[in-house]
């Protein structure tokens, strides 16, 4: 439909322009722009739909040139034959009849112009199509990678939480049922409310608070946590399960039962910008043999979800481990 509209528009424009700026009769204009215009458009599509796909796209350059020359000769002869039907309109110039070679050489340029236009259109369409396909493939690849990374969060989180509850059960703690219930609430959020690309920041913070409460139960309510949230978190959205890895590592590799060195967590939200700070005292008795799946995961997700919109600083000091994250929500 677009092709038809464009050709009708082009022919109509030149038809109108020629009719208002020349002494040509209506019949003369119809022959030039409709009959021979239709032939030239045919040359365009012979090259666009047949010669280019059959030869040029397959790198058969010599065959393409030979077929193009053959087609141009046949079209030139055909145009001359049609010109004989409308001899007074086509084969006469300034009162002088044109010979075959005179007419053929003049019409060859017109045919080659339409061939050139079809090549330009074909390569332009192919380029834009390839660009769109590449963008779609990249989007699908990133989406699949994000889904995979996010799917890793749940098993990693569950593994750590079950270890904590196992510890409580092993000690026959009365808080084990409460811990299981808290874990159930956390998993409900992870399974059913964090499936979108972004979630309400308020819900994400509530989820973090539930996890902290679960850890406090594990420590027999003897964990010392300084968790603060500053700024307005209403109407703000964030990628789900983005901050939990930092908090997990603080509990897993840090000291949580020292009142003189509590785990410090601060979330500050200001004008669409989030700052997250976490600090914990280190101990060396509980190293993760798997090599820290969580932090590698969250770094990759940050690169995919917030490219050039975040800054992550990790300071691994002798006795203290500090993470600072700032990102544009």
Q: What is the pLDDT of the chain when averaged over all its residues?
A: 80
Residue 263's pLDDT is what? 92
User: Rounded mean pLDDT of 270-297?
Assistant: 74
- Say what percent of the chain tops pLDDT 70: 83
Say what the pLDDT of residue 229 is.
92
Examine the domain organization and report whether 193 and 105 are in the same domain: no
184 and 101, same structural domain?
Answer: no
pLDDT of residue 141: 66
Assess whether pLDDT exceeds 50 at residue 291: no
What is the H or E stretch that residue 49 is in?
none
Q: State residue 268's pLDDT score.
A: 94
Examine the domain organization and report whether 319 and 192 are in the same domain: yes
Please report where in the chains the tokens 């007419």 appear, as a residue: 103
Query: 207, 183 in Cβ contact below 8 A?
Result: no
Whole-angstrom distance, CA of residue 74 vs CA of residue 201: 71
Q: How far apart are CA 28 and CA 141, in angstroms?
A: 59
What does the pLDDT average to over 23-27? 68
Residue 37 inside a domain? The answer is yes
**Extended strands (E) in 105-261:** 199-200, 225-230, 237-238, 254-255
175 falls in which pLDDT band (50, 70, 90)? confident
Query: Taking the alpha carbons of 30, 32, 35, 40 in that order, is the dihedral positive or negative?
Result: negative
Is residue 203 domain-shared with residue 308, that is, in the same domain? yes
- 48 found inside a domain: yes
Q: Exposed, middle or buried by CB within 10 Å (0-12, 13-18, 19+), for 146? A: middle
Task: Indicate whether 326 pLDDT > 90.
Answer: yes
The pLDDT confidence band at residue 154, using thresholds 50, 70 and 90, is low
Range of the domain at 123: 2-134
Tell me what pLDDT residue 290 has.
40
Same domain (yes/no): 124, 188 = no
pLDDT computed for residue 109 by the predictor: 81
Asked if residue 93 has pLDDT above 70, the reply is: no
179 and 114 both lie in a single domain = no
Statement: residue 34 has pLDDT above 50: yes
- Distance from first CA to last CA of the chain, Å, rounded? 43
pLDDT exceeds cutoff 90 at 273: yes
pTM above 0.75, yes or no: no
286 inside domain: yes
What is the structure's pLDDT at 165? 82
DSSP run (H or E) holding 183: helix 176-188
Task: Please compute the mean of the pLDDT values over residues 72-100 and round it to a whole number.
Answer: 77
Going by the DSSP 8-state scheme, the letter that residue 109 receives in this structure is H
pLDDT (0 to 100) of residue 201: 92
100 assigned to some structural domain:
yes
pLDDT tens digits for range 185-239: 887 887 777 777 788 999 999 989 988 888 887 777 788 899 999 998 888 999 8
Where are the strands (E) in the chain, listed by range?
A: 92-93, 96-97, 199-200, 225-230, 237-238, 254-255, 263-270, 273-282, 310-316, 320-328
- Answer whether residue 151 shows pLDDT above 50: yes
Contact between 223 and 256 under an 8 Å Cβ cutoff? The reply is yes
Same domain? 177 vs 324? yes
User: Would you say residue 148 lies in a domain?
Assistant: no
**Structural domain total, the chain:** 2
- Which tops the pLDDT comparison, 23 or 232? 232
CB-count exposure of residue 128 (10 Å: 0-12, 13-18, 19+): exposed
Provide, rounded to the nearest whole percent, the portion of the chain with pLDDT above 90: 11
In this prediction, residue 274 carries a pLDDT of 94
Q: What is the DSSP string of 23-35?
A: ---HHHHHIIIII
């Amino acid at each position: 439909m677009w092709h038809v509209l464009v050709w009708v528009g082009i022919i109509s424009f030149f038809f109108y322009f020629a009719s208002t700026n020349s002494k040509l009769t209506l019949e003369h204009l119809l022959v030039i722009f409709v009959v021979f215009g239709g032939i030239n458009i045919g040359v365009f599509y012979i090259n666009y739909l047949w010669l280019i796909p059959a030869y040029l796209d397959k790198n058969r350059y010599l065959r393409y040139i030979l077929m193009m020359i053959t087609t141009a000769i046949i079209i030139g002869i055909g145009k001359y034959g049609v010109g004989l039907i409308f001899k007074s309109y086509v084969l006469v110039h300034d009162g002088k009849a044109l010979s075959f070679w005179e007419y053929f050489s003049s019409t060859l340029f017109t045919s080659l112009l339409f061939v050139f236009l079809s090549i330009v259109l074909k390569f332009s369409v192919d380029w834009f199509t390839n660009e769109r396909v590449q963008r779609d493939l990249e989007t699908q690849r990133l989406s699949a990678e994000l889904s995979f990374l996010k799917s890793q969060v749940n098993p990693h989180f569950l593994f750590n939480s079950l270890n904590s509850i196992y510890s409580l059960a092993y000690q026959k703690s009365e808080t084990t049922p409460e811990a299981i219930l808290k874990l159930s609430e956390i998993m409900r959020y992870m399974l059913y409310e964090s499936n979108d690309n972004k979630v309400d920041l308020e819900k994400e913070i509530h989820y973090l608070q539930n996890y902290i409460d679960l850890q406090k139960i594990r420590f027999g309510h003897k964990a010392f946590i300084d968790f603060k949230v500053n700024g307005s978190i209403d109407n703000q959205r964030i990628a789900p399960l983005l901050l939990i890895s930092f908090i997990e590592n603080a509990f897993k590799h840090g000291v949580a039962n020292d009142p003189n060195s509590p785990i410090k967590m601060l979330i500050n939200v200001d004008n669409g910008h989030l700052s997250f700070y976490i600090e914990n005292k280190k101990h060396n008795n509980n190293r993760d043999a798997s090599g820290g799946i969580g932090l590698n995961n969250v770094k990759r997700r940050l690169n995919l979800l917030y490219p050039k919109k975040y800054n992550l600083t990790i300071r691994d000091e002798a006795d203290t481990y500090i993470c600072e994250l700032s990102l544009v929500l």
